[in-house]
């Protein structure tokens, strides 16, 4: 059979005039109805919404835990294979002579800030501390909770959730979008990444469904991140003296949630209106500088040797145990207090939750990575998007989280850090370290963390708004109508506020796990489409056929 030229045209109908000019009405209106319906439902019928979401969550964890575990393992394997496959690794995401638009520093800054910054600022301290107290080895009686023999296990599991698996999800989505948009000149939207499998049929209803699924997953995935960020932001405001925003338990009050959402989404909407090259780029550079400054504090004044040892040993343990951790699925035996049930519950609450979170985040981060990675090779993209951010996360977890563990073990913290709410742990730790020296220093550090958190939250939110509008606009990267940017800024803030007010972070987590499921199937199809396209391109090159489409001239 003769090899056909690659598909380089995927028409997507957009409105020619009116409020939705330049947007796909099918995708945009359907997405707005689904997200708006979720907000109204959660606010109008909170008890019913909470009960139904919990039933869905229980069903998914019981029936799709294996799917989530194995599908992320597949993404890691595909990324590694594409990086080392000669026919794939050398291909450029763009024209043959195209150069990257952003410097390496700005590229890493935007990638890290939009991809994982907010969650990492919460969990770099909270997660190692949690796994130090409980993990599968503790459940099985192999190590002891909150003791020295459990430190390595704490980092092995923390690295699993924030390492190659997380960034492989982003890399697959980003690579698929960049490949078909910048090599094929197809629209920069999710459906384009499946053209080798379904061809021009994606111009119609099935393509609309794929893009709608991506928009909903994006909103719910970013809502999860912002939910964690809101809790931590309110804790930080309380630490610097802005009272009345927290409950007696230290969590955000209703007033605190509303204030935080108004501040964050107001700033992010303004930034989104300025575009990627201005507001988002500068915010990303600022939060990278502040991140380095905060990390430098932990390196100089934290448990430096403890952190270095945890990094080296933890990385070794992670790489050795990764095949088993990536593929092992624990099944409950039905007994509430059995080891098997406890292991299954732990995996559902941690690994399955994280894999769903990263999958839900993938259309947003993936499209954003594609947007900022034009001109880079596949090998450069995969290694840059997987390895560098993973190492950054590992460094944060070992020096920030390691300092917390060391202070609890030998530094006399006495439960001050472990007893604090997750979002407040980093503030509790820095206050314990600095308050005896100077209350002013402690306040200044808390203020810096609040500013850093704010930049991360705004970067994630405004990037998400621009990405959602790009999908709705059939992949158009150009300026978007201001009302649509404002709508999605308000919608994203409303989802976070509504779900936090009616059910807390658990409600957001449940909605996100549900929303991620259909998109995980789309991502598996992306893997198949990428491999098929690259293989066929190598055959086309052998036959002297062109594999890169010339972009259409700007009007």
How many domains is the chain partitioned into structurally? Answer: 1
Tokens 């590694």 appear where?
Answer: 80
Q: Residue 56 belongs to a domain with what CATH number?
A: 1.20.1740.10
- Identify whether 373 is part of a domain: yes
- Identify whether 91 is part of a domain: yes
Q: Residue 348 has what DSSP assignment?
A: I
Alpha helices in 64-163 (DSSP H): 65-84, 86-89, 104-115, 117-133, 136-139, 151-162
Please write down the long-range contacts of 20-24, taking CB distance under 8 Å and 24 or more positions apart: 21/481, 22/473, 22/476, 22/480, 22/481, 23/469, 23/472, 23/473, 23/474, 23/481, 23/484, 24/208, 24/211, 24/472, 24/473, 24/474
- Identify whether 52 is part of a domain: yes
pLDDT digits 0-9 by tens, 325-367:
999 999 888 888 899 999 999 998 899 989 988 998 888 788 8
The pLDDT of residue 319: 95
- Identify whether 159 is part of a domain: yes
- Identify whether 117 is part of a domain: yes
Phi, psi of 21 (to 5 degrees): -55, 130
CA 209-274-25 angle, 5° bins: 25
Q: Residue 554 has what DSSP assignment?
A: P
pLDDT digits 0-9 by tens, 354-400:
998 899 888 878 887 888 888 899 999 998 888 888 888 898 899 99
Q: What is the dihedral of CA 69, 335, 136, 325, to 10 degrees?
A: -20
- Identify whether 225 is part of a domain: yes
- Identify whether 547 is part of a domain: no
Q: How far apart are CA 442 and CA 172, in angstroms?
A: 41
Q: What average pLDDT is seen over the chain? A: 85
| pTM, full prediction | 0.88
C-alpha torsion sign, points 484, 490, 494, 497: positive
- Identify whether 555 is part of a domain: no
Q: How far apart are CA 325 and CA 76, in angstroms?
A: 13
Q: How far apart are CA 300 and CA 430, in angstroms?
A: 13
Residue bearing the bigger pLDDT, 70 or 496: 70
CB distance 132 to 154 below 8 Å: yes
Domain that holds residue 253: 25-542
Range ranked top by mean pLDDT from 95-104, 376-385, 477-486: 376-385
pLDDT digits 0-9 by tens, 108-117:
777 765 556 6
């Amino acid at each position: 059979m003769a090899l056909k030229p690659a598909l380089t045209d995927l028409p997507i109908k957009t409105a020619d005039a009116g409020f939705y000019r330049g947007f796909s009405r099918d995708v945009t209106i359907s997405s707005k109805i689904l997200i708006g319906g979720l907000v109204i439902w959660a606010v109008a019928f909170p008890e019913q919404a909470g009960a139904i979401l919990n039933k869905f969550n229980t069903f998914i964890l019981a029936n799709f835990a294996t799917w989530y575990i194995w599908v992320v393992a597949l993404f890691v394997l595909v990324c590694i294979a594409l990086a080392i496959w000669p026919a794939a690794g050398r291909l450029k995401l763009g024209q043959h002579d195209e150069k990257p638009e952003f410097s390496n520093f700005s590229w890493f800054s935007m990638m890290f800030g939009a991809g994982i910054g907010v969650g990492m600022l919460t969990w770099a301290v909270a997660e190692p501390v949690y796994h130090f107290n409980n993990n599968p080895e503790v459940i099985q009686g192999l190590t002891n909770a909150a003791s020295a023999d459990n430190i390595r296990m704490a980092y092995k599991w923390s690295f699993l959730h924030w390492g190659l698996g997380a960034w492989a999800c982003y890399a697959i989505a980003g690579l698929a979008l960049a490949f078909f948009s910048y090599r094929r000149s197809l629209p920069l939207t999710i459906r384009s990444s499946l053209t080798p499998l379904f061809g021009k049929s994606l111009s119609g209803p099935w393509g609309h469904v794929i893009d709608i699924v991506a928009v909903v997953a994006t909103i719910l995935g970013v809502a999860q991140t912002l939910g964690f960020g809101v809790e931590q932001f309110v804790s930080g405001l309380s630490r610097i003296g802005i009272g009345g925003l927290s409950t007696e338990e230290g969590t955000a009050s209703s007033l605190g949630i509303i204030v935080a959402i108004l501040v964050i989404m107001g700033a992010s909407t303004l930034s989104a209106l300025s575009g990627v090259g201005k507001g988002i780029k500068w915010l990303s550079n600022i939060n990278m500088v502040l991140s380095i400054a905060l990390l430098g504090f932990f390196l100089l004044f934290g448990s430096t040797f403890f952190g270095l040892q945890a990094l080296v040993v933890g990385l070794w343990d992670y790489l050795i145990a990764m095949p088993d951790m990536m593929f092992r699925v624990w099944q409950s035996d039905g007994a509430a207090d059995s080891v098997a049930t406890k292991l299954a519950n732990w995996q559902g609450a941690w690994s399955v939750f994280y894999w769903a979170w990263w999958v839900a985040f993938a259309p947003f981060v993936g499209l954003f990575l594609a947007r900022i990675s034009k001109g880079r090779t596949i090998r450069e993209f995969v290694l840059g998007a997987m390895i560098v951010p993973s190492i950054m996360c590992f460094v944060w977890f070992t020096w920030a989280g390691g300092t917390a563990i060391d202070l609890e073990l030998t530094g006399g913290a006495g439960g001050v850090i472990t007893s604090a709410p997750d979002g407040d742990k980093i503030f509790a730790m820095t206050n314990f370290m600095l308050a005896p020296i100077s209350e002013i220093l402690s306040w200044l550090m808390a203020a810096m963390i609040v500013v850093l958190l704010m930049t991360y939250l705004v970067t994630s939110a405004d990037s998400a708004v621009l990405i959602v509008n790009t999908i709705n606009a059939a992949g158009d990267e150009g300026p978007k109508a201001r009302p649509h940017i404002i709508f999605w800024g308000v919608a994203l803030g409303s989802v976070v506020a509504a779900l936090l007010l009616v059910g807390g972070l658990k409600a957001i987590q449940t909605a996100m796990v549900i929303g991620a499921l259909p998109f995980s199937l789309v991502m598996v199809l992306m893997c198949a489409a990428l491999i098929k396209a690259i293989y066929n391109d190598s055959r086309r090159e052998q036959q002297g056929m062109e594999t890169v489409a010339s972009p259409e001239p700007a009007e």
